[in-house]
Amino acid sequence: MSLEPLDYAAPTSAESKHARHNVIYTALLIALAFFFCLGMISLYFVTQSPTFAAGSRWAFHMIMGVYAALVAAVVITLVLRAAAPRAGRIATLALNIILLVVFPVGTALAIYGLWKVDKNQPV
């Protein structure tokens, strides 16, 4: 006679696994956008230092612009994923391709997104 406890939980289906990956990806995308915003704030305060070289201020502003564009792309993708899932899948694919060059965290998230996210739905 077996003394193992009975597992009354419903078996996890492939659909629920895909849904879990979508939720994890969305949470990580929100966290990445938050850290992009923190980076922009940090760079802004660095450029406001009185000892900061005025000639190099443009480079920091350019980086802040890149971060702002990435945050805008993430927000647009998140809104589309919630409001229009078909367009959201296309935007997610495009965002993942863009995030491949944001080494190392963006690259890891992009690989995860390309590998696991939206696999049970057609584009």
- Identify the pLDDT of residue 10: 62
- Quote the CA–CA distance of 47 and 19 in Å, as a whole number: 42
- Quote the CA–CA distance of 58 and 43 in Å, as a whole number: 11
Specify the 3-state DSSP secondary structure of 67.
helix
- Identify the pLDDT of residue 34: 98
- The whole-model pTM stands at 0.83
Q: Could you read off the pLDDT of 72-118 as tens digits, one per residue? A: 999 999 999 999 999 999 999 999 999 999 999 999 999 999 999 98
Q: Could you read off the pLDDT of 12-66 as tens digits, one per residue? A: 666 677 789 999 999 999 999 999 999 999 999 999 999 999 899 999 999 999 9
Cβ atoms of 87 and 97 closer than 8 Å: no
Measured between alpha carbons, how far is residue 86 from residues 43, 92, 93 in Å?
A: 36, 10, 11
Provide the residue ranges of all domains of the chain, joining segments of one domain with +. Answer: 18-116
Q: Which amino acid is at 20?
A: R
The answer on pLDDT for 2 being more than 70 is no
Residue among 122, 116, 121, 123 nearest 17 (CA):
116
